[in-house]
């Protein structure tokens, strides 16, 4: 105890010096750790990946560029009335018709009000045998679309197997299980093979007739055919040169110009 009392101050000073020595040794490590921590936080802020910018809206600029590329078109033909005044035409009944597009008169103003199909029909009418037992077959042919009115009526042909005419050739005859007969024909115009029974005639759509209306002159025509009667439209003569399921074609006699006229679906009902 005496030793402790005599050296108390030295012991306290020694402890303080030891604490200072430990603190001095720890301080560089603490500073280094703080520096690393600050550097990490700075890097996280400075090197933060930038966000992508939203795409630019260049629609207005692109529209302007397209307009510049297309240029300005000045219509001096169709809608302009300074250099192209509107034409008015007097109709036979005294009315004045405004001509804006050029299709108010002439074949473009034709309207098909009705379309009727015309058929090529073959019928097995009867069979007979002569004294020698040779069978002859009566076959009827009807050509509704023929340009020649005399040929539109039914014409009967009496033929044997192998006979040929301008309409068909009778190639063979078969006896069916029920005792009926089946005639095998080859058509002269298309080469098509047809199987003909008494109760089952052959029918093929071969053309059409049309009913027409021409409003500018209040005219109507019925049952018009190809190369039929003349159509007088706007003072000019036309003839029908083709009729299909969807189109009528007329020919101007003055200049041989052909004009198609569409057949709308309502007209075929």
- Residue pLDDT tens, the chain, 269 long: 666 666 667 777 777 777 877 777 777 787 887 888 888 887 777 777 777 888 888 888 888 888 878 777 776 666 666 666 666 666 666 676 666 665 667 788 889 999 999 999 999 999 998 777 788 999 999 999 998 888 899 999 999 999 999 999 999 999 999 889 999 999 999 999 999 999 999 999 999 999 999 888 888 999 999 887 788 887 889 999 999 999 999 999 888 999 999 988 654 44
pLDDT of 133 reads 76
Determine the Cα–Cα distance for residues 233 and 248; give it in Å rounded to an integer. Answer: 15
**87: Cβ contacts below 8 Å, ≥ 6 apart:** 98, 99
pLDDT of 267 reads 44
240 closest CA partner among 206, 204, 209: 209
Determine the Cα–Cα distance for residues 141 and 154; give it in Å rounded to an integer. Answer: 5
Sign, Cα dihedral of 151, 152, 154, 159: positive
Find the length of the chain: 269
pLDDT of 103 reads 64
**Rg for the chain (alpha carbons), in Å?**
51
pLDDT of 268 reads 45
Residue with tokens 């006979």: 163
| CB contact at 8 A, 194 and 131 | no
Task: Classify the phi-psi angles of 102: left when phi > 0, otherwise alpha if psi is within -120 to 50, otherwise beta.
Answer: left
Q: Which residues of 183-200 are buried (b: 16+ CB within 10 A; e: fewer)?
A: bebebeeeeeebebeeee
Q: CA-CA distances (angstroms) from residue 60 to 54, 64, 68?
A: 17, 6, 12
Angle CA 202–206–209, to nearest 5: 125
The answer to whether the predicted template modeling score (pTM) of the entire model surpasses 0.85 is no
Determine the Cα–Cα distance for residues 246 and 235; give it in Å rounded to an integer. Answer: 27
Q: Is 22 exposed, middle or buried (0-12, 13-18, 19+ CB in 10 A)?
A: exposed
Determine the Cα–Cα distance for residues 95 and 75; give it in Å rounded to an integer. Answer: 30
């Amino acid at each position: 105890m005496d030793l402790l009392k005599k050296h108390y101050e030295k012991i306290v000073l020694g402890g303080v010096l030891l604490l200072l020595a430990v603190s001095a040794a720890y301080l560089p490590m603490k500073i280094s750790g703080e520096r690393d921590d600050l550097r990490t936080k700075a890097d996280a802020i400075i090197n933060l990946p930038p966000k992508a910018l939203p795409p630019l809206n260049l629609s207005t600029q692109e529209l302007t560029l397209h307009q510049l590329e297309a240029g300005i078109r000045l219509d001096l033909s169709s809608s302009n009335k300074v250099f192209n005044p509107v034409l008015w035409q007097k109709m036979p009944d005294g009315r004045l018709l405004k001509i804006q597009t050029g299709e108010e008169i002439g074949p473009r103003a034709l309207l098909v009000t009705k379309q009727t199909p015309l058929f090529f029909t073959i019928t097995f009418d009867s069979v007979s045998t002569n004294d020698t037992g040779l069978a002859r077959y009566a076959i009827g042919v009807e050509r509704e679309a023929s340009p020649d009115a005399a040929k539109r009526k039914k014409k009967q042909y009496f033929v044997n197997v192998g006979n040929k005419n301008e309409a068909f050739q009778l190639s063979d005859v078969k006896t069916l299980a029920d005792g009926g007969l089946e005639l095998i024909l080859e058509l002269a115009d298309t080469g098509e093979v047809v199987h003909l029974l008494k109760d089952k005639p052959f029918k093929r759509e071969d053309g059409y007739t049309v009913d027409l209306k021409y409003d500018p002159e209040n005219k109507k025509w019925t049952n018009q055919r190809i190369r039929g009667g003349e159509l007088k439209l706007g003072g000019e003569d036309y003839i029908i040169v083709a009729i299909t399921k969807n189109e009528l074609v007329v020919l101007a006699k003055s200049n041989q110009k052909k004009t198609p006229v569409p057949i709308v679906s309502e007209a075929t009902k």
